[in-house]
């Protein structure tokens, strides 16, 4: 990739020039190369900005992001930064989206009246702003949330069920992340981050999330069946 001016770098990353300058001032970017009086940015700057955006998607504060980036060697090649992003991606939450009522109905596959919106808001699926814009926390779950909200069940039952799922899946995600970091990432780092292992880890990270989700769904279905069987009298 050719060297980029700060305007070109901002355009490539979807950021404003002001934001790029702000990040550089906070030490999140190394200094650019100088050609005369023009600063030029390369692959390593682009990779660092993409890593910062991934960390933001995880909900980290700027202070936490600065601490994380400070541990990365200043001369880390773009390939190492890309691997860091890939290792974070399996655990990154889905990015929220804002939409109006028309788009919300289209994405949900049904018309959502004010009562349905209130139930979805209580379930944490969305938030309705003062300007009427709707912020959907997890767009991929909107359809399922709409189906749940339409069930003829007390809202307290739905909220309690949703809270239980959130609580246990969050704990499971934390444990799985810990196992992955301890048994895969840490040994890789202790071996000095050998380049020949980088491609294998990138492939592993890309496959991990869908496989874990499939495994979780299958295991949960089996656990629900077992729980139902335990409620049936045996005599």
Q: What is the pLDDT of residues 58-73, one digit of tens each?
A: 778 888 889 888 888 8
Helical (H) or strand (E) element with 97: strand 97-99
The two beta strands, 38-40 and 134-136, are: unpaired
C-alpha to C-alpha distance for 7 and 13, rounded to whole angstroms: 10
pLDDT score, position 19: 93
* pLDDT of 37 higher than 70: yes
Measured CA to CA, the distance from residue 41 to residue 69 in angstroms comes to 18
Q: Are 69 and 52 in contact (CB under 8 A)?
A: yes
pLDDT at site 22? 93
Q: What percent of the chain has pLDDT over 90?
A: 15
- Tens digit of each residue's pLDDT (9 = 90 or more) over 109-133: 889 998 999 889 888 889 988 888 8
Mean pLDDT lowest for which of 4-8, 105-109, 218-222? 218-222
Beta strands (DSSP E) in 48-92 are none
Residue 2: what pLDDT?
64
Query: Would you kindly state where each structural domain of the chain is located, as residue ranges?
Result: 6-91, 97-152, 169-231
What is the predicted pLDDT for the residue at 216? 78
Given a cut of 70, whether residue 75 has pLDDT beyond it is: yes
pLDDT for 214 equals: 79
Q: Mean pLDDT score of the chain, rounded to an integer?
A: 84
What does CATH list as the number for 6-91? 1.10.1660.10
Neighbours of 38 (CB within 10 A): 11
- pLDDT of amino acid 41: 93
Instruction: Return the half-sphere exposure (C-beta side, CA atoms, 13 A cut-off) of residue 60.
Output: 18
> Environment class of residue 149 by beta-carbon count within 10 Å: exposed (0-12), middle (13-18) or buried (19+)?
buried
Concatenating the DSSP letter of every residue in 154-222 gives -HHHHHHHHHHHHHHHHHHHHHHHHHHIIIIIHHHHHTT--HHHHHHHHHHHHHHHHHHHHHHHHHHHH
The span from the CA of 173 to the CA of 177, in Å, is: 6
The residues near 104 (Cβ < 8 Å, ≥ 6 apart) are: 112, 126, 134, 136, 142
What per-residue confidence (pLDDT) applies to 139? 84
């Amino acid at each position: 990739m050719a060297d980029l001016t700060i305007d070109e770098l901002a355009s490539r990353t979807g950021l404003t020039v002001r934001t790029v300058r702000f990040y550089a001032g906070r030490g999140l970017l190394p200094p650019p190369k100088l050609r005369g009086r023009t600063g030029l940015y390369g692959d390593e700057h682009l990779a660092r900005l993409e890593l910062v955006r991934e960390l933001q998607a995880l909900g980290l504060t700027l202070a936490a992001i600065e601490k994380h980036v400070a541990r990365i060697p200043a001369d880390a090649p773009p390939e190492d930064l890309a691997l860091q992003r890939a290792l974070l991606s399996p655990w990154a939450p889905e990015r929220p989206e804002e939409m109006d009522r028309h788009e919300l109905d289209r994405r949900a596959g049904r018309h959502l009246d004010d009562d349905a919106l209130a139930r979805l808001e209580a379930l944490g699926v969305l938030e309705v702003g003062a300007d009427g814009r709707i912020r959907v926390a997890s767009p991929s779950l909107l359809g399922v949330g709409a189906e749940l909200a339409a069930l003829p069940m007390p809202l307290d039952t739905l909220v309690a069920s949703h809270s239980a799922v959130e609580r246990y899946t969050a704990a499971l995600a934390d444990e799985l992340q810990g196992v992955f970091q301890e048994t895969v990432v840490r040994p890789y780092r202790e071996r000095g981050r050998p380049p020949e292992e980088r491609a294998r880890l990138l492939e592993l990270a890309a496959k991990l999330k869908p496989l874990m989700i499939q495994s979780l769904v299958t295991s949960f279905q089996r656990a629900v069946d077992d729980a139902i069987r335990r409620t049936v009298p045996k005599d």
